[in-house]
């Protein structure tokens, strides 16, 4: 088991390396001169040259690459071009907000999606099942930024139940500010997870061991949750992983609409300002997040599927 | 002898109500306490559906089940659905055909057998654990204490079937239904599992309803045999009586198809044709197209089960005794 985890961890190293390399290459082949972009068209030759020298843009490419890797390993992303703040501090300020948003939206998404899926599976081809089908289709079809705007208009502007923007102060105020953005992502997740739960559970409920559980004398509830859902967790946990990753793309739109701090927001701002080092750091953060979630999912598989434990 | 199970006019049908496909066609049979009865038939004869119907494990819908299943005088078809779990596993245990897929892959075998006890009996955890170990020993699992925390995937088919049997026997049921318990197993393992079932039977004195297509298995375990074909009971007799004096052409064909060691025949006997798909023969005797003794009457009317002696019934126009009409 420890060996399995260790191997997974080793697996992640080339991935991290590849991501870093891709980010480096992508930043170098982007059209435009960073110096020109930052200093503007009015900058004279001397200023541009000084900027290039300062940013290491005159070094040979291999040296730039090695410096880049070394900085990345030390989590030193340099300073922002716009406000000259250390980027690591900007990330430290923004990352928690994205993590809160991810956690709450995943939690809400699961607590809505799984029960919906169970109800639909238990009522296959009856009205509750059709209702979930329509709900899921809507969830697939509505873009996150649009749903965010609708929720904002209805619950913040019209009903006034939630604050319109910002992140709030302290735990309860923070939570109050967090609910609507998290709900936006959670609704979309629950559409996906509900559908997935229904499919996985129906597949499992047709298995022979479910009949065995009934033949033992287990009541329906126990059959569905103890035997059915427990086995449906295998395919479901993959979906949950995908759904957590979807928070990333979702957080970009949601943080923007609700005007919240966060990595997505940071990235969007950096892109509009052409703050290359910040974009670079933001993309890396997203990539690390993906790798981290995948690692976490491997651990989850280990917990839900004893067969993996037996083999390793 | 006391009557344990009395199935009366059991019907299992699928499809439209006006034009149903009947896979079990109004069959009636009994099992006495401590008796072991075999239900024999080819695939599609309705024998598994019969077994599942007794525990009401047939999915309704799409199926429709009717008739009476009197277990110790109580009609299981009439009790509320939510009361069935109290019967399943406690009064009637069941072993399934597929040991590879009939155990929950994410639960240890100890927990799965424990659940069968936990659901019906108010015992401490330690007492249940001891019972699980005893059960595993009863079904011939070597080193049971150390196998409790193993998962089904760590066992062979034969061992899994022993786990299934331990589960089915967990609460000393009065009736054990075994649906093709040896079909998916290697021949050597089959013999072990049969020996195990015989052993269980003598020790616990449970009645056994054995569903099988294998007459050899029936000969080893059963006191009485019910022969099914296309959802009908064709013949029903004591095991010795049936092997010596089969009255139905289908049973006779089945018996002739069993190879024996001192066989001088060049070719094994076979019944020509195949079992008709369920519901295709709506009138007359369903065995008619394959029957060597068929008569005109067979196409019109299904022959009733009539007595051919004490505790021997057969449904055939051609062999039915004189004077029965």
Whether residue A204 is predicted with pLDDT greater than 60 in this model: the reply is: yes
Q: Which residues of B183-216 are buried (b: 16+ CB within 10 A; e: fewer)?
A: ebbeeebbebbbebbeebbeeeebbbbbbbbbbe
Give yes or no for A148 touching B (CB within 8 A).
no
Question: For the ranges A179-188, A235-244, B162-171, B254-263, which has the lowest average pLDDT?
Answer: B254-263
End-to-end CA distance of chain B: 31
For A269-286, give the DSSP string. Answer: HHHHHT-HHHHHHHHHHH
Interatomic CA distance for residues B178 and B39, integer angstroms: 10
Indicate if the pLDDT at residue A130 is higher than 60.
yes
**The token pair that represents B183 in the structure block:** 């079909």
DSSP B74: E
Region A131-138 average pLDDT = 91
Map tokens 């966060």 to a residue.
A262
pLDDT of residue B39: 92
B85, B93, B98 ranked by CB distance to A219: nearest? B85
Question: Percent of chain A at pLDDT above 70?
Answer: 97
Nearest to B185 by CA among B149, B210, B160, B163: B160
A43/B126: higher pLDDT: B126
How does pLDDT run across B69-116, given as a tens digit for each residue?
888 888 888 888 888 888 888 889 898 888 788 898 888 888 999 998
The partner residue sitting opposite B57, judged by closest CB among A215, A230, A305, is A215
The three-state (H, E, C) secondary structure of A162-199, written as one string: CCCCCCCCHHHHHHHHHHHHHHHHHHHHHHHHHHHHHH
Q: Compute how many other C-beta atoms are within 10 angstroms of the C-beta atom of residue B322.
A: 5
ipTM above 0.95, yes or no: no
Rounded Cα distance between A177 and B270, Å, is 79
Instruction: Report the C-alpha gap between A112 and A106 in whole angstroms.
Output: 10
Q: Which of B57, B55, B44 is nearest to B213 (CA)?
A: B44
Q: Which residues pair with B207 in a beta bridge?
A: B175
Domain boundaries, chain A: 89-311
Higher pLDDT, A154 or B195: A154
* B121/A contact by beta carbon, under 8 A: no
Question: Could you tell me if B119 lies within 8 Å of chain A, comparing CB atoms?
Answer: yes
**pLDDT tens-place values along chain B, 325 residues long:** 788 889 888 888 888 888 888 888 888 888 988 888 999 988 778 888 888 898 888 887 788 888 888 888 888 888 888 888 888 888 898 988 887 888 988 888 889 999 988 888 888 888 888 888 888 887 778 888 888 888 888 888 888 888 888 888 888 888 889 888 777 777 777 777 787 778 777 777 788 899 988 888 888 888 899 999 888 888 888 888 888 888 888 888 888 777 776 767 677 777 777 777 766 777 788 888 888 888 888 878 888 888 888 888 888 887 777 665 5
Q: Which residue has the higher pLDDT, A127 or B256?
A: A127
Torsion sign (Cα): B4, B9, B11, B16: negative
B interface test, pick of A122, A211, A217, A300 with most B CB neighbours within 10 Å? A217
What is the phi-psi region of residue B305: left when phi exceeds 0, alpha when psi lies from -120 to 50, beta otherwise?
Answer: beta
Give the pLDDT of residue B324.
55
pLDDT band at A190 (very low <50, low <70, confident <90, very high): very high
For domain A89-311, the question of CATH label 1.10.3720.10 is answered with yes
Contact A211 B82 (CB under 8 A): no
User: In the prediction, which pLDDT does A66 show?
Assistant: 87
Sheet holding B21-32, edge to edge: B21-32, B3-14, B64-71, B74-75
Q: How confident is the model at residue A200 (pLDDT cuts 50, 70, 90)?
A: very high
Task: Compute the Cα dihedral for B60, B65, B66, B67 and give only its sign.
Answer: negative
Q: Is the pLDDT of residue A265 over 90?
A: no
d(CA B104, CA B101): 8
pLDDT, tens digit, 9 for 90 and up, residues A293-311: 888 888 888 888 887 777 6
CA–CA dist A306, A76 (Å, integer): 41
- Name B34's Cβ contacts closer than 8 Å, sequence gap at least 6: B1, B205, B206, B207
Q: A198 pLDDT exceeds 90?
A: yes
Is B87 in contact with A217 (Cβ distance < 8 A)? yes
B127-165 per-position pLDDT tens digit: 888 888 888 887 778 888 888 888 888 888 888 888 888
Q: What is B205-225 written as a DSSP string?
A: --EEEEEES-HHHHHHH-SEE
Nearest CA-CA distance, residue A137 and chain B, Å: 28
Using only C-alpha atoms, chain B has a radius of gyration, in whole angstroms, of: 21
Q: Is B167 helix (H, G, I), strand (E, B) or coil?
A: helix
Residue of A nearest to B112 (CA): A213
Residue B277, min C-alpha distance to chain A (Å): 23
Task: Over range A154-174, report the average pLDDT.
Answer: 78
Q: Supply the pTM of this predicted model.
A: 0.79
CB pairs under 8 A between A and B: 77
């Amino acid at each position: 088991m420890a060996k399995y985890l260790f191997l997974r961890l080793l697996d992640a190293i080339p991935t991290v390396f590849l991501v870093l390399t891709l980010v480096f290459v992508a930043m170098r082949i982007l059209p435009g001169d960073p110096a020109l972009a930052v200093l503007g068209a009015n900058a004279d030759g001397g200023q541009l040259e000084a900027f290039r020298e300062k940013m290491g843009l005159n070094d040979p490419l291999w040296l730039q690459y090695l410096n880049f890797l070394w900085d990345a390993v030390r989590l030193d992303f340099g300073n922002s071009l716009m406000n000259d703040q250390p980027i690591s501090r900007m990330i430290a300020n923004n990352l928690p907000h994205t993590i809160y948003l991810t956690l709450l939206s995943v939690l809400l998404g699961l607590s809505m999606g799984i029960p919906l899926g169970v109800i639909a599976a238990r009522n296959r081809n009856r009205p509750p099942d059709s209702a979930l089908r329509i709900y899921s289709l809507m969830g697939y079809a509505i873009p996150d930024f649009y749903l965010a705007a609708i929720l904002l208009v209805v619950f913040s502007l019209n009903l006034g139940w939630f604050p319109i923007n910002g992140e709030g102060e302290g735990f309860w105020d923070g939570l109050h500010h967090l609910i609507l953005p998290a709900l936006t992502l959670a609704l979309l997740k629950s559409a996906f997870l509900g559908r997935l739960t229904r499919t996985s559970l129906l597949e499992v409920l047709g298995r022979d061991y479910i009949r065995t559980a009934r033949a033992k004398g287990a009541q329906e509830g126990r059959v569905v949750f103890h035997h059915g859902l427990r086995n449906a967790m295998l395919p479901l946990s993959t979906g949950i992983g995908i759904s957590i990753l979807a928070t990333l793309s979702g957080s970009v739109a949601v943080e923007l609409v609700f005007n919240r701090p966060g990595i997505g927001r940071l990235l969007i701002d950096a892109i509009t300002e052409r703050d290359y080092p910040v974009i670079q750091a933001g993309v890396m953060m997203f990539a690390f997040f993906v790798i981290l979630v995948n690692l976490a999912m491997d651990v989850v598989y280990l917990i839900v599927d004893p067969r993996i434990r037996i083999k390793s | 002898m006391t009557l344990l199970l009395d199935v009366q006019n059991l019907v299992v049908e699928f499809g439209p109500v006006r034009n149903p496909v009947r896979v079990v066609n109004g069959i009636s049979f009994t099992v006495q306490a401590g008796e072991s009865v075999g239900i024999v038939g080819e695939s599609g004869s309705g024998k598994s559906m019969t077994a599942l119907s007794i525990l009401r494990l047939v999915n309704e819908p799409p199926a429709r089940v009717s008739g009476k299943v009197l277990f110790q005088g109580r009609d299981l078809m009439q009790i509320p659905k939510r009361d069935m779990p109290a019967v399943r596993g406690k009064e009637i245990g069941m072993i399934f055909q597929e040991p590879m897929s009939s155990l929950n892959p994410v639960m240890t075998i100890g927990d799965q057998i424990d659940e069968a006890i936990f659901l019906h009996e108010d015992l401490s955890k330690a007492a249940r654990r001891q019972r699980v170990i005893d059960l595993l020993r009863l079904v011939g699992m070597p080193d049971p204490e150390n196998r409790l925390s193993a998962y089904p995937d760590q066992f062979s088919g034969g061992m899994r079937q022993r786990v299934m049997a331990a589960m089915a026997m967990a609460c000393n049921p009065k009736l054990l239904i075994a649906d093709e318990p040896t079909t998916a197993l290697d021949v050597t393992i089959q013999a072990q599992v049969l020996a195990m079932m015989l052993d269980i039977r003598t020790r616990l004195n449970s009645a056994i309803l054995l569903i099988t297509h294998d007459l050899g298995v029936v000969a080893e375990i059963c006191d009485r045999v019910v022969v099914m074909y296309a959802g009908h009971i064709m013949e029903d007799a004591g095991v010795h009586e049936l092997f010596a004096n089969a009255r139905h052409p289908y049973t006779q064909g089945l018996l002739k198809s069993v190879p024996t060691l001192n066989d001088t025949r060049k070719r094994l006997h076979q019944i020509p044709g195949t079992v008709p798909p369920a519901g295709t023969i709506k009138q007359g005797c369903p065995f008619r197209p394959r029957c060597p003794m068929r008569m005109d009457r067979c196409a019109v009317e299904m022959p009733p089960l009539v007595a051919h002696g004490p505790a021997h019934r057969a449904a055939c126009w051609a062999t039915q005794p004189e004077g029965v009409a």
